[in-house]
A and B are shown apart, each in its own frame.
Chain A
Amino acid sequence: MSYVLRRLLMFPVVMLGVSVFVFVAIRLVPGDAITAMLGTESGLLTPAQRESLTAYFGLDQNWAVQYWRWLTGLLQGDLGLSVTYGQPVSRIIIDRFPLTLELALLSMVIALMIGLPAGVFAATRVERPSDLIVRVFAMIGQSTPNFVLALLAIYILSVVFGILPTMGRFVPLTEDPLGNLAQMILPAIALGTAFAAAVTRISRAAMLDILGEDYVRTARSKGFSQRYVIWRHALPNALIPVITLSGVEFGYLLGGAVIVEQIFALPGLGRVVLDAILQRDYALVQGVVLFIAFNFLLVNLLVDLAYAALDPRIRYGAS
């Protein structure tokens, strides 16, 4: 109870910290605020226009006032206006987020479907050849950056096998599910591989630890089979670190895959952030970055609550 409450209370506190961090970071960008906000287009402004804009955006006020106005706007769903897109930031996010979410979900499905069984399997055959093979693959998977894997995958498919990955216009899931999947599967594999490797390693380690616990010995003393002991007694305990890791990785994937989206020409959140930074569209940077951090914190809040549901020690605030 107290744990759940504490986690719920911490969410707005950290979110507030995130908003201050983003606000200050944007204002530390060199150059005056109008230039920062309008980017290269600010060069076309007359001094009078510049002054009225300064007053309009409240930039003649001090930072505290500006922050307050920004924050109250945020709470009403007003993330500001993107100059490069000529659209509200919230509109851009609504357009781009579904792709990022789909990619993140696909990657996590790949990671959990491969990683969890592989990790549990390896733990039950520790130090045998099958364990060694799993560990070698996990180690290589963990050491391959997603953008390197993406480039190698494209190279192997296009140059070696002559299959050209569909890299043309992006097809949304709602228009053509199969065409969409064909576009998404390679980026999802690129992102999911290291994720799967991490899940494999952590589930193996957790399972190994737990198989040495006293309560597993108790379960065996009751006459239960290896299969029952693993699934009923060990796995619920081993899942706790796996869920934590998956939450963190998934939360980060919701922030968009900056490089992979760029390589596969996918219009996700990662692309938006990169373009916005390169074009100095700071209202957009500010809004999207805040949205990304919000998602991350939300996912991890849910993970912590799942934790509490899974482990009564946490639920009742045992030390």
Chain B
Amino acid sequence: MTLLSVRDLRVGFGREGHETEVVHGVDFDVTAGETLAIVGESGSGKSVTAMAINRLIDFGGGRILGGRATFDRKIDLATASEGQMQRLRGREIGMIFQEPMTSLNPVLKVGTQIGEVFRKQHGLSGRAVRDASIRALDRVRIPDAARRLDQAPHQMSGGMLQRVMIAIALAGEPRLLIADEPTTALDVTIQAQIMGLLAELKRDTGTGLIFITHDIGLVAGLADRIMVMRGGEAVENGAADQVLDRPAHDYTRHLLGAVPHFRAGQAARTDGARTGQVPALDVRGLSVRFPVGGGFLRKTRGVVHAVDGVSFDLVPGETLGIVGESGSGKSTTARAILDLVRPSAGRIETGGTAAVQMVFQNPNASLNPRMTVRGLLAEPVIAAGQNVDADVLERMRTLLGRVDLPDDLDRFPHEFSGGQRQRLCIARALMLNPKVLVLDEAVSALDVSVQAKVLDLLVDLQREFGLAYLFVSHDMAVVERIAHRIAVLYAGRIVEVGAARDVLSSPRHPYTQKLISAIPSIDRRRIDYTLDTEEVPSLLRPVGFVPPDQTWQEVGPDHRVAKEPLS
């Protein structure tokens, strides 16, 4: 049965009569029990389309300019009054948002925020509200539900909050659920948990689901139909297998082709054999610890072991990928190498000053908005005590050309796109001829098709200048494209390290295996996600805690696995 039928839907923003149209007439249907995935990059209009359906767009300065959206064969959502919409929202159409951390009211208890839905939609009161709320949390596998009801949102992890959001959206027993990038802000293993939950709900309740994402690989496991959007238009709309296997539109092919998809080691680099070169970077026994709760008149409550006894080396021309989820210590490792955090133990050897440079995650934040390209590129030179002379200006121009940016030194960062800004950051990092580049999630903030271009540039630069890369990332598909070797970080320690192909194709550590099985891929269709709700372990240790030594097992020519059990 067709639950929702959208025809020629057009949406715009701005003052009445002066709207800028951003969605130019899309058509799609959602059937009960079916999942429609809407895929597109930022600016494609996918989220606007979703929010137009339950008319939340009205509160964001937007307006439906034309078309129909017939719900349940009765109501046209495009012309329904706000009063009608209020009766539909929550009861018939539920919604899950991208940022679980900001989507729950920070000053209200979790129980209040679930309970109010049961009060409104089912007329429950008193004890019944609490019981229903506990059942709702149980259903999304939140342990210790009764206690969680009395907690505030900030006391829970992002993955748990997203499960609470799902419980809230389901509390009204809607027939249509809209999920707007519900896993984008989450780690990959947590993403697998949420996907598993959504798959189970679809199976059990027959709810129609609209799943919005930028990641076409992610929906392969869940979607029945896929609609691809670009620039406010639907370029392709069809059965999932058809769109994935026989894409009709160039843009779909581009998304499937240009975007890095995880290939379990098959796409790993084969160039650059590791021979007996002198390491460009040698890290031995690196530990970073932060005391917690200390301060005036108070005792230190414990120590966060952010990084614990990490060792690796890096030879010229080689990329070491450091992978792990949030809290694994991968960024702290990168920052310790650049002396941005003070290591509490360990030795870091580099080939002299300025031999190691860094590129940060967010190119918007890593370029001072009030400096021109000239000032930005001159900064490392000035810091090294050199004069900005004709030679330096010549080098600026050469590097700008090399990273494919216009030869204009007087522009400000805001005049560039995100991908261009990141290339500017790379040029800046190369000003002093470093031997090693530390790339901390350097492509994570970029749109998927821009990612591929920056990765290609990095590989070219590596070959040309013999650079060594320490490539820190949470994204296994990206790491697979650029890394020769991979180190897997879990709870501050390396648990597995070796040649990229070996680690990705035959992971040996249980955590690496879990991480890799959680990676979405277009080759994985209609997966029966197993629901696992394990949380990341706490890194907070008592004062004076000494971590047990790791023992290593060689499982291949360049492939080692830590033997100590997961704690």
Interface, chain A (partner B; CB < 8 A):
2, 6, 9, 211, 213-215, 217-225, 232-233, 236-237, 310-313, 316, 318
List 5 extra interface pairs beyond A214-B97, A316-B152, CB under 8 A: A214-B103, A218-B168, A223-B86, A223-B121, A237-B105
Contacts A/B (CB < 8 Å), 27 sampled:
A2-B298, A6-B296, A9-B297, A217-B56, A217-B60, A218-B104, A218-B165, A219-B105, A220-B56, A220-B59, A221-B54, A221-B56, A221-B97, A221-B169, A222-B89, A222-B117, A223-B87, A223-B88, A223-B89, A223-B120, A223-B172, A224-B120, A233-B108, A237-B106, A312-B109, A312-B155, A316-B155
Q: Given A2-B298, A223-B120 in contact, is the A218-B91 Cβ separation under 8 Å?
A: no
The A/B interface has a contact count, at CB < 8 Å, of: 88
CB distance from A226 to the nearest CB of B (A): 8
Task: Return chain A residues, CB-CB under 8 Å to B59.
Answer: 211, 217, 220
Q: How far is the CA of A219 from the CA of B102 in the complex (A)?
A: 12
State the main secondary structure of chain A at its contact with B: helix
Q: How far is the CA of A318 from the CA of B296 in the complex (A)?
A: 18
Is the pair A224, B86 in contact by a Cβ cutoff of 8 Å?
Answer: yes
Task: Return chain A residues, CB-CB under 8 Å to B296.
Answer: 6, 9
Is the pair B89, A217 in contact by a Cβ cutoff of 8 Å?
Answer: no
Is the pair A223, B90 in contact by a Cβ cutoff of 8 Å?
Answer: yes
B369: Cβ under 8 A from any A Cβ: no
A-facing residues in B85-119 (Cβ within 8 Å): 85-91, 94-95, 97, 99, 102-109, 116-117
Within 8 Å by CB of A311, from B95, B107, B109, lies B107
B7: Cβ under 8 A from any A Cβ: no
CB distance from A214 to the nearest CB of B (A): 4
Q: Which residue of B lies closest to A218 (CB)?
A: B103
Is the pair A222, B120 in contact by a Cβ cutoff of 8 Å?
Answer: yes
Chain B contact patch, size range: 35 or more
Q: Given A222-B120, A223-B121, A224-B120 in contact, is the A217-B86 Cβ separation under 8 Å?
A: no
Task: Return chain B residues, CB-CB under 8 Å to A213.
Answer: 102
Is the pair A215, B154 in contact by a Cβ cutoff of 8 Å?
Answer: no
Task: Return chain B residues, CB-CB under 8 Å to A223.
Answer: 85-91, 120-121, 172
Task: Return chain B residues, CB-CB under 8 Å to A232.
Answer: 116
Q: How far is the CA of A215 from the CA of B101 in the complex (A)?
A: 9
Q: Given A9-B296, A236-B108 in contact, is the A215-B102 Cβ separation under 8 Å?
A: yes
Task: Scan B229-243; emit 1 where CB is below 8 A from any A CB, else 0.
Answer: 000000000000000
Within 8 Å by CB of B94, from A6, A219, A221, lies A221
Task: Return chain A residues, CB-CB under 8 Å to B89.
Answer: 220-223
B293: Cβ under 8 A from any A Cβ: yes
Task: Scan B20-54; emit 1 where CB is below 8 A from any A CB, else 0.
Answer: 00000000000000000000000000000000001
CB distance from A169 to the nearest CB of B (A): 49
Within 8 Å by CB of A313, from B54, B91, B106, lies B106
Task: Return chain B residues, CB-CB under 8 Å to A316.
Answer: 152, 154-155
Task: Return chain A residues, CB-CB under 8 Å to B95.
Answer: 218, 221
Task: Return chain B residues, CB-CB under 8 Å to A318.
Answer: 154
Q: Given A215-B106, A220-B59, A237-B105 in contact, is the A312-B152 Cβ separation under 8 Å?
A: yes
